[in-house]
Amino acid sequence: MMKSVSRIAILFLAILINCAATVQAADEAPLSESKDIPAVKKALKMAPAETAIFVGDMHCGNCAKKVARKLYAVKGVTKVRTDLKIDVAIVTPQQNQQLDAKALWAAAEKSGILPIKLIGPAGVIEADEEAKKEASKPHDHAAEQTKTS
């Protein structure tokens, strides 16, 4: 009798651990892959007029500055905040102005750190699978400096 109780307890623990691992894996899915736009905006603490641009491999402060610098050049942008942990730039427009999503996308591309997904008041723009693969490749800062020298 005691052996069967022990086996049941061990089985129960194994199931519990497996469930916890599954929940944790689901929680770790990147925001850029979410289809629930209101949930993404809430998670990023975005104001209704703001636009989020998910980019590939924004791994350091210099990368974030490059992206922000190009986004500030877009007409109507007043603020850009970046989050290196989730590879996103959040853009704030001038009051009572809506930003051009295509211009923001093009600006992010010009930074050399390719955009994956844009979520804003005008809707959603998403890179195709090939572009997503290219964007997720790590880039080489040394090679970039050689190009600009």
Q: What's the rounded Cα separation, in Å, for the pair 96 and 120?
A: 14
Q: Is the pTM of this model over 0.85?
A: no
H/E stretch holding 132 reads helix 129-136
Within this chain, do residues 84 and 14 fall inside the same structural domain, yes or no? no
Which residues span the domain enclosing 67?
34-148
Q: Domain total for the chain?
A: 2
Within this chain, do residues 77 and 100 fall inside the same structural domain, yes or no? yes
80-131 pLDDT, tens digit each: 999 999 999 999 999 988 899 999 999 999 998 889 999 999 888 888 777 6
Within this chain, do residues 18 and 87 fall inside the same structural domain, yes or no? no
Q: How confident is the model at residue 18 (pLDDT cuts 50, 70, 90)?
A: low
38-48 pLDDT, tens digit each: 887 888 888 99
